[in-house]
Amino acid sequence: MDTELFDYDLPERLIAQTPAARREDSRLLVVDRASGTLRHCVFADLPDLLPAGTRMFRNDAAVLQARLPGVREGSGGKVECLLLRPGETPTRWWCLLKPGKKAASGAFGVEGVYRARVIAKEDCEDGGGEYLVEFDVFPPLRDVLDVAAKIGALPLPPYITRARPKDKDFSELDKERYQTVYARRDEPVAAAAPTAGLHFSEVLLERLRSRGVPQFDLTLHIGLGTFQPIKSATIEAHPMHKEFYVIPAATREQLEIVDKARSPRLAVGTTSLRAMEDFARRRAAGDPLIPARGNVAASAGLFVYPPQTISGADALITNFHLPKSTLMCLVATFLAPGEMSGIAWLKEIYAEAVARGYRFYSYGDAMLIL
């Protein structure tokens, strides 16, 4: 399948650089798959749009302040160290480094905060690489997460060009709004936000609960692979990244209740859907790594694209995604499971959103697919 099928034109002015004034003020494009119709609403309308009995599943991953500044010993050159995921010991993390070769040739750090050195490298297909970094953390800081909380900056997506870590005018705004209100901030694990969840406020969540929409949490550790475009000529040739997820026992119990007519399962975001679908497929296949009951912990390397089917969720809230991305493949599959028609339909929906001035990407508007 040609990757160009998932390309579309987006005016740069529609790439959202800041969030809406209030979370629930974002616009909401509602897609009814049964009738094939579209409606233009605002996110605050959500309680009135969901079918009675809907169960909401959301990714509670918090974003780590993963961009660490540093200085190279000897030369004094600046280093940016981006934390990706923990290594096999508490003092080791896999990271991206700028400049990579120079930073890898010696030690770097921040005086009185941390000292680090590269002990291994893993090359990537694009010619870059990830580095395994050994950290020495200075008291009173206890670990690398303490370092991130003290001096780190949020790893905003590359298309948010107005806000670099040094922009103090936006740093406090981003710390608050590039996290969901239900994020587990005491345990940050993600390199990017589950952006469909950014539209929920505490007030809106309470309105949903009062309308009989219970909310269940899972945690998927979002990696930077979520921003990587498909570079291969065909969809099938793309090497899909993996992301670790945990589904608590109470959430798992609800996922195993499949009753679309009376109690549909709403996935908040493609990250939630990815975990839900990975679990559904593993369970259906009798995967021995999935325990008979209790918590589920697994790594999702699932790549969903048409004409696959999706059985893990019945409705989806999602933002508008980058061209030629794996997320577009996933949403096209959700629009028309088992068919190829979802690709053309998704591009028609995106064209409508562009024509009406919807805001795209992480801080942009949302779409509800019923």
Inter-residue contact 362 to 180 (CB < 8 Å): no
Residue type, 187: E
Q: How far apart are CA 101 and CA 270, in angstroms?
A: 35
Q: How far apart are CA 342 and CA 102, in angstroms?
A: 46
Inter-residue contact 66 to 191 (CB < 8 Å): yes
Q: 2: which DSSP letter?
A: B
pLDDT in tens, 255-283: 999 988 889 999 999 999 999 999 999 99
Q: Looking at residues 326-340, what average pLDDT do you find?
A: 98
Bridge partners, residue 234, by sequence: 2
Query: 């959202």: which residue's tokens?
Result: 16
Tokens of 101: 């070769």
Q: Looking at residues 179-205, what average pLDDT do you find?
A: 95
Sequence-separated contacts (24+) of 258-264 with Cβ below 8 Å: 258/311, 260/314, 262/53, 263/53, 263/54, 263/55, 264/51, 264/53, 264/54, 264/55, 264/314, 264/315
pLDDT in tens, 64-120: 999 999 999 989 999 999 998 888 898 999 999 998 888 888 899 999 999 999 999
Q: Looking at residues 178-185, what average pLDDT do you find?
A: 96
* Interacting residues of 333 by C-beta distance below 8 A, sequence separation 6+: 304, 305, 306, 307, 308, 309, 310, 342
127 pLDDT more than 50 = no
* Interacting residues of 332 by C-beta distance below 8 A, sequence separation 6+: 6, 305, 306, 342, 343, 345, 346
